[in-house]
Structure 1
Amino acid sequence: MHFDLADLRLFVHIAESPSLTQGARRAHLSAAAASARIKALESQLDSRLLYRDNRGVELTPSGQRLLQHARLILRQVERLKDDFSEQGGDQAGHIRIFANTTAVTEFLPEVLAGFLAARPAVTVDLQERLNRDIVRAILDGSADLGIVAGPVRAEGLEILHFSTDHLVLAVPPGHALERLGRPPTLADTLGYFHVGLHEGSTLQSFLREQVERLGGTLNLRIQVASFEAACRMIEAGVGIGVLPETAARRHQRSMGLSILQLDEPWVVRERSVLVREREALPGCARTLVELLRQVGDGVVAP
């Protein structure tokens, strides 16, 4: 059985696109040519790989299996090219990163800015995802690196701790929770309007889970797209919000915010990098992992 790398790459493009036409465009082929090559691949494997309808394409179980193998094969090919590249081990390549909200908005932009400025031939695809989706993506090979906060179940993956953050409660100055005489609990906050992040953010999903465990309801008055917007709403008295301490302290320097410690066991969050096999990563990805760990340890500035 002979596999053409171009066909495997085309199949991955189609699987990661909403339609065959868009996948073909990513592979610089016409839709007709792409369809013919996929049919030839199905004939060779004696398996149907895609369901096609007016809404787009969907992978069959056989297609899901092929996608996992194709991603691994193409990653190994990229590793081979990287090892023999004239530009050096970490100076070229592509890295796909799935990360939680805090990583995407708070520290990764600075880390990646310096990393990419020193490596013009490296490209990065950074996407915000939930922890469970990050774990799944690393396991099935759809992402190279995952960045998560808090405990995760990730059997079969390497979990590399690199820093610690805390969740705090941000309130407008003079808020009633400041006068409790003790650190508030999450339950103490449920009688007030909350400012939350957009649906799908890791932090918002995490908070909903904690509130559901209490048997309560999170009284969301507004949801916004960033920590900066959340802090501005809190400053204006729209509500209160649970935020990473790094974000809250940074915005406190330019906004009127009071920051309260929460009396909850889950406020300390360990940040970790997830990889399937560190030594199998391209050189640029391995270098980025080490840079993240150094930044987390305070060895270098982001």
Structure 2
Amino acid sequence: MDDKLETRRLRYFMQVLESGSVRGAAEVLGMDASAVSRAVALLETECGARLLERRGRGVAPTDAGDLLASYLRRQQSQKQHLLAQLDSIRKIERGHIDIVAGEGFVDWLMRNSLRTFMQSHPKITIALDVGSSDEIVKRIVDERAHVGMLFQPPKDERLRSHHSHPQPIQTLVLASHPLARLGRPLKLADLQAYPGATLHRGFGVRQHIEAAEISEGVRLNALLTTSSFSALGHFVAAGLGYALSTRLSLPAHLDTAEISALPMKNPLLHQGRTHVISRHGRVLSPAAMELLRQIVSDTADPLRRVNQCPQDDFPDARA
């Protein structure tokens, strides 16, 4: 493939995909947009197929473009693995790791796995990005992140789950809220009389809630819809109403006795699990593997979950 296709054109092509447009790629590369366009056109001639097609104001890969991009990413991954293996001779002293996680896991990661890892490997750089479940899956599948942590990913043969743990969805309210005084698992109908907050539909938590709504024939009207788990916690802490979420999603400074996590009756809200994932078949660098092992060890260790995570960050499923 390298003998047939010119390396610079391949690099320009991948930058166009990353930027979403020829003009955007040209700005990153410090080139004229027409030069980038010509290079991609020559690459299409070499491949004998269209690689890009217009999509709105930008471009998107054709089927042939997807095949080429997948090949180049695998090639780059194998190259990175070789370099990382050579680097491992220096006992994982240098390297870079990309992590993508739901916002609800960021606080836990920083207080546990990332803190431990970064203290032990001070020269390894880490990029920690936050996204919805859909965004996390896409970044892992596209090999733009080494490790992902999210709530209940979709069934996808391209994903590998290294560890999962039950994570029930509960109703978060102030301890003084009327719902906290019912003294029994809640039905969704119990929530209808009160204002609530929820996540956008791209989040696994919201998708589970919608499935439960259908099963109970109930539709909840949210006062606040957000992409921020932190916003849900502040909504509850301010006494504005309830939030259907996981206890882990609460920022540490809000996870106090003033907020109650009430169990739900619907079994669908007990089926969710927290997963630590990577791209199936991708060979991770030694540094990424070391961090992955650290995260798996921390999430699987009940003593760490109970003693270091307020209110048992990874509780067992309860009826």
TM-score (norm 2): 0.79
Distance 1:278 1:50 in 2: 27
Q: CA deviation at 1:242?
A: 1.5
What amino acid is the match of 1:62?
A
Gap change, CA 1:283 and 1:31, over 3 Å in 2: farther
Gaps of 5+ in 1: none
**Most deviating of 71-80 and 88-97:** 88-97
- Partner deviation per Cα, 1:160-182 (whole Å, 9 max, x = no partner): 11544332211233322223231
- Partner deviation per Cα, 1:129-155 (whole Å, 9 max, x = no partner): 325x54454445444333232364132
Task: Tell me which residue corresponds to 1:219.
Answer: 221
Report matched runs for 1:179-258 at 5 Å: 179-198=181-200, 200-248=202-250, 250-253=252-255, 256-258=258-260
Distance 2:194 2:185 in 1: 16
State whether residues 52 and 65 of structure 2, in contact with CA within 8 Å, keep that contact through their aligned partners in structure 1. Answer: yes
**Most deviating of 274-283 and 68-77:** 274-283
Q: CA deviation at 1:45?
A: 0.4
1:150 to 133, 152, 158: 152
Report matched runs for 1:52-91 at 5 Å: 52=54, 55-85=57-87, 88=90, 90-91=92-93
Identity %: 26
Task: Tell me which residue corresponds to 1:122.
Answer: 125
State whether residues 10 and 23 of structure 1, in contact with CA within 8 Å, keep that contact through their aligned partners in structure 2. Answer: yes
**Most deviating of 169-178 and 248-257:** 248-257
2:162 to 160, 163, 167: 160
Gap change, CA 1:137 and 1:240, over 3 Å in 2: same
Task: Tell me which residue corresponds to 1:42.
Answer: 44
What amino acid is the match of 1:186?
L
Distance 1:134 1:247 in 2: 16
RMSD, aligned CA:
3.2
- Partner deviation per Cα, 1:187-215 (whole Å, 9 max, x = no partner): 32233221223564442343233323433
Distance 1:125 1:74 in 2: 21
State whether residues 158 and 280 of structure 2, in contact with CA within 8 Å, keep that contact through their aligned partners in structure 1. Answer: no
Task: Tell me which residue corresponds to 1:31.
Answer: 33
Corresponding residue pairs, total = 300
Q: Verify: 1:171 aligned to 2:173, yes or no.
A: yes
Task: Tell me which residue corresponds to 1:280.
Answer: 283
- Structure 2 SS opposite 1:75: helix
What amino acid is the match of 1:108?
L
Q: CA deviation at 1:17?
A: 1.6
What amino acid is the match of 1:14?
V
State whether residues 228 and 251 of structure 1, in contact with CA within 8 Å, keep that contact through their aligned partners in structure 2. Answer: no
Distance 1:186 1:290 in 2: 38
Task: Tell me which residue corresponds to 2:313.
Answer: none
Distance 1:116 1:9 in 2: 32
Distance 2:278 2:12 in 1: 25
**Most deviating of 148-157 and 13-22:** 148-157
Task: Tell me which residue corresponds to 1:297.
Answer: 300
What amino acid is the match of 2:169?
L
- Structure 2 SS opposite 1:36: helix
